[in-house]
Amino acid sequence: MEKYRKTIGRHGEDAAEKYLKKKRYKILERNFLIRGGEIDIIAQKGEYIVFIEVKTRCDMAFGTPAEAVTFRKIRSMKKTAEVYMQQYGEAYVRFDVIEVHMAVTADKPRLIQINHIENAFM
């Protein structure tokens, strides 16, 4: 089950990256990891550095993907973003969530819809 979830998550992040590139975001990092935190995608759009959490779901049994971004995850993302910005320098910062809805047919994920929530939290 864990392998399945990771596979779906990777497909979701790939779809989100492709979507962002189409929207003229410059991808700076994928899966930026520090002790105690991870950010799925770090991108630049104009003068903003955008920290993006990607949530992928194949059904809505447990709510929308964005509802899975907990207070704990938000706190972790903010700390991780601080570490990144210490390395990067000064810039405007934004936190987004990208919901990726997929269907799995014949063991192969298929993209249904992407919902990009800009400024999901402060």
Count of CB atoms situated within 10 Å of the CB of 87: 7
DSSP 65: G
Fold of 2-121: Trna Endonuclease; Chain: A, domain 1 (3.40.1350)
Tens place of pLDDT for every residue, the chain, 122 residues? Answer: 566 667 778 889 999 999 999 999 999 999 999 998 999 999 999 999 999 999 988 877 777 888 889 899 999 999 999 999 998 888 899 999 999 998 877 667 777 899 999 999 88
pTM for the predicted model, two decimal places:
0.89
Those residues whose C-beta lies under 8 Å from the C-beta of residue 31, and which sit 6 or more positions away, are 13, 38, 39, 40
